[in-house]
Amino acid sequence: MRNGFRRTSRGIEVSLGRVEAGILASLLDEVAQLLEPPPVDDPLEAMVGLRPTAPEPPDDPMLARLLPDPYPDDPAAAAEFRRRGWDDLRTAKRDAARRVLAVLPAKGGRVTLDEAAAQDWMTSLNDVRLALGVRLELTDDDSASALEDIGSRDPRRPIVDVYLFLGSMQEQLMQILLDGLGG
């Protein structure tokens, strides 16, 4: 197995080639930077971690996809979520990406993960794919399925290849995690 996940007696092993590890590291770094919270001017707000007012929904489509509105039909509930829970969600996603980056074999290779680290990988793979999906203008299952038909000369092809590769890795890891629940 050159790229992907497998369960071993020591944990969940991930193996990546040099190119794949480099691409993933670059994308994870971009996602982690995107998820950096804006600076807080109020020292009490920074200490308590609770905003006095709700921040506006993000203008950046990638950030909006990574931090979706859980209450699209209830503006008051959506604002309250952004005020109370958004920073925690943002921090959790950013920190998961950083933990993956910390163990990612930069020159390719293998690393063994425990269950918590595997969850970080699942979160981070999903977040990178969501961000790439925005770049590819994926809006539904049909647009995602159409990626298989993109020709080799299409300028989106390299991004599609990365998106599909990460999807394959995500599916492998999900299956391993699900199998671990049953046995």
**Tokens linked to 97:** 């990406």
Entry pTM = 0.88
Please indicate whether residue 42 or residue 72 has the higher confidence score (pLDDT): 72
Question: CA torsion 152→157→158→164, rounded to 10°?
Answer: -110
Distance CA(64)–CA(68), nearest Å, equals 5
pLDDT at 149 over 90: no
Cα angle 163, 173, 117; round to 5 = 105
pLDDT tier at 47, thresholds 50, 70, 90? low
Per-residue pLDDT at 94 exceeds 90: yes
Spell out the domain ranges in the chain.
Answer: 8-182
Rounded to an integer, the average pLDDT of 138-151 is 84
Which residue(s) pair with 14 in the sheet? Answer: 5, 111
Burial of 57 (0-12, 13-18, 19+ CB in 10 A): middle
pLDDT tops 60 at residue 157? yes
Contact between residue 9 and residue 173 where contact means Cβ atoms under 8 Å apart: no
Within 10 angstroms of residue 23's Cβ, the number of other Cβ atoms is 18
Residue that is written with structure tokens 């909006």 in the block? 64
